[in-house]
């Protein structure tokens, strides 16, 4: 499954459309269609269930996208959230210098190097422009990724503000409020899901790198000295979440950042990379952020952000472990991991999107065997079941075709209403992966489906 085919598949089945397509599109923006919206909501709900609901040490938050610019000064984003930009003088193509180097020779490691070091590699290796093939570049310079906008109706009074480039800072600036309001004791975590924005130099690879995206971030606050234990805990817990979602172990790997790659706030970071069509690439970043952020916010705000230790009564700035995951990157990984083209025993082929039932857009499809005879009963059953489960109703075409359509969008179960349903209140329940069919009593369906689609 290559990327071009995935983009076409996602469009054809209503997962993802090009943004503003009617007007020729807006580069690298994507709209989530009915199936994409359902699946994205499921991805977010499952993350929340695992990392907030089921972990009694963590709580949730929904902070605003627009924040006082002083936040970004303190966090280091205004001064340091840059990517190295280089222009080709011949064709005017714009590149991220580290990506230009790494896509020229994958054995070269360029992430986090200074502009001077990147210039030197590009010159020494005579790296060509990936658009026109010439080697005629401007020097590498730093480009700030923050999206700037203005707040206020009158020009003279408007204030420059930024769209947040990460959700994390909304958590850091609220930590004292949350700790007090909920009487939390270290160690505890605060998580949130929300949009972030980055003026990426080279967005691309479909929804992998975009300028508008959603993050699922958790900041876990622990006692200084305990951070290694929690770092290891979250590396394992994050990997386990992916495996529980059904992602194949072969398709993920953990990769530690070396010193040149570390962000300005981190003393250790491990990425969980997924095997995308172009190779292993970052899905989830797990960072040890020390007390960098809270210290910066203390200095810049003048507020004491230390917390009291419940055991020793001492006060300190807690250390932070941060697992940070992109919704769209997980969405894309799930699609690639699940997509299969199979040849069946009768020689027919089918697409089987073998998603975990908890993450599939629809949990179940409901069909009348013959619309004329069974349509009314099937519709009544669909209305009842739709109160507790996300389903799709389909009464067009041969039953085999209807099964294929659902297999291709990952619907794990299909219910067929037939003559027997009318006489004895049973239906056929078909399973997507095995295609096995069984007879089930209508009254048992809600509980059975709840169990079969649980996470
Ligand atoms: N708060 C830490 C932070 O934002 P990051 O490694 O820059 O760290 C975390 O981003 C995650 O957000 C990434 O692992 C990725 O899943 C997602 N992400 C980052 N930039 C993205 C982009 N331009 N498009 C889509 N997802 C992105």
Collapsed DSSP state (helix, strand, coil) of residue 282: strand
Which residues does ligand 1 sit against, CB inside 6 Å?
A: 166, 168, 198, 200, 209-210, 213, 215, 217, 282-285, 322, 324-326, 328-329
- Of 208, 287, 324, 328, the residue with max ligand 1 atoms within 8 A of its CB, to mutate for a pocket test, comes to 324
What confidence tier does 312 reach under pLDDT thresholds 50, 70, 90? Answer: confident
State in Å: Cα 192 to ligand 1 middle. Answer: 14
Mean pLDDT of 331-349: 95
pTM of the complete model: 0.95
Residues 52 and 285: their CA atoms lie apart, in Å, by: 18
For 81-123, give the DSSP string: -EEEEEEBTTT--EEEHHHHHHHH-TT---TT--HHHHHHHHH
What confidence tier does 159 reach under pLDDT thresholds 50, 70, 90? Answer: confident
What are the chain's domains?
3-67+164-336 (3.30.930.10), 82-141 (3.30.40.230), 362-452 (3.40.50.800)
What confidence tier does 20 reach under pLDDT thresholds 50, 70, 90? Answer: very high
| Contact (Cβ atoms closer than 8 angstroms) between residue 103 and residue 130 | yes
pLDDT at 410: 98
State in Å: Cα 251 to ligand 1 middle. Answer: 19
Return the ligand 1 atom nearest residue 167 CA.
Answer: 1
Mean pLDDT of 185-197: 97
Decide if pLDDT at 310 tops 90.
no
State in Å: Cα 142 to ligand 1 middle. Answer: 19
What confidence tier does 264 reach under pLDDT thresholds 50, 70, 90? Answer: confident
The closest residue, in CA terms, to atom 18 on ligand 1 is: 326
Residues 251 and 253: their CA atoms lie apart, in Å, by: 7
pLDDT at 265: 87
Q: For 110-129, how does the pLDDT look when each residue is reduced to its tens digit (9 = 90+)?
A: 988 999 999 999 999 999 99
Decide if pLDDT at 221 tops 90.
yes
Place of tokens 């065997």: 369
| Contact (Cβ atoms closer than 8 angstroms) between residue 372 and residue 418 | no
Decide if pLDDT at 311 tops 90.
no
The closest residue, in CA terms, to atom 12 on ligand 1 is: 326
> Where do the DSSP E strands lie in 177-278?
188-197, 212-222, 252-256, 268-276
pLDDT at 358: 98
Residues 119 and 442: their CA atoms lie apart, in Å, by: 69
Residues 111 and 118: their CA atoms lie apart, in Å, by: 9
């Amino acid at each position: 499954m290559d990327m071009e085919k995935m983009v076409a598949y996602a469009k054809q089945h209503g997962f993802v459309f090009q943004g503003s397509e009617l007007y020729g599109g807006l580069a690298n923006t994507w709209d989530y269609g009915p199936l994409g919206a359902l699946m994205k909501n499921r991805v977010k709900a499952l993350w929340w269930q695992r990392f907030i609901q089921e972990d009694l040490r963590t709580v949730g938050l929904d902070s605003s996208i627009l924040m006082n610019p002083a936040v970004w000064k303190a966090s280091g984003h205004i001064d340091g959230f840059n990517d190295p930009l280089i222009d080709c003088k011949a064709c005017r193509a714009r590149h991220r210098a580290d990506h230009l180097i790494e896509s020229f020779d994958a054995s070269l490691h360029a992430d986090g190097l200074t502009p001077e070091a990147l210039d030197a590699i590009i010159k020494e290796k005579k790296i060509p422009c990936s658009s026109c093939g010439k080697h005629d570049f401007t020097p590498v310079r730093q480009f700030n990724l923050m999206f700037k906008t203005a707040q206020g109706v009158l020009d003279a009074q408007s204030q420059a503000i930024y769209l947040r480039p990460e959700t994390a800072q909304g958590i850091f600036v609220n930590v004292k409020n949350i700790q007090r309001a909920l009487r939390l004791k270290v160690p505890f975590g605060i998580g949130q899901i929300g949009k972030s924005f980055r003026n990426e130099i080279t967005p691309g690879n479909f929804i992998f790198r975009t300028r508008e995206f959603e993050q699922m971030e958790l900041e876990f606050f622990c006692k200084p000295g305990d951070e290694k234990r929690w770092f290891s805990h979250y590396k394992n817990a994050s990997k386990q979440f992916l495996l529980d979602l059904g992602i194949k172990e072969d398709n993920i790997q953990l990769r530690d950042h070396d010193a040149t790659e570390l962000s300005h706030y981190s003393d250790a970071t491990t990425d969980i990379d997924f095997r995308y069509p172009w190779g292993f690439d970052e899905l989830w970043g797990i960072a040890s952020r020390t007390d960098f952020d809270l210290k910066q916010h203390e200095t810049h705000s003048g507020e004491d952000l230390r917390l009291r230790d419940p055991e020793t009564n001492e006060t300190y700035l807690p250390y932070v472990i941060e697992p940070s995951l992109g919704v769209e990157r997980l969405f894309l990984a799930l699609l690639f991991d699940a997509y299969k083209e199979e040849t069946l025993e009768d020689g027919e082929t089918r697409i089987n999107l073998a998603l975990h039932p908890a993450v599939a857009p629809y949990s179940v499809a409901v069909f009348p065997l013959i619309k004329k005879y069974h349509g009314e009963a099937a519709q009544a059953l669909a209305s009842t079941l739709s109160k507790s489960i996300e389903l799709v109703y389909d009464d067009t075409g041969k039953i085999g075709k209807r099964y294929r359509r659902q297999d291709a969008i990952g619907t794990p179960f299909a219910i067929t209403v037939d003559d027997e349903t009318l006489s004895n209140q049973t239906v056929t329940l078909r399973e997507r992966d095995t295609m096995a069919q069984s007879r089930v009593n209508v009254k048992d369906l809600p509980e059975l489906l709840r169990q079969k689609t649980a996470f």
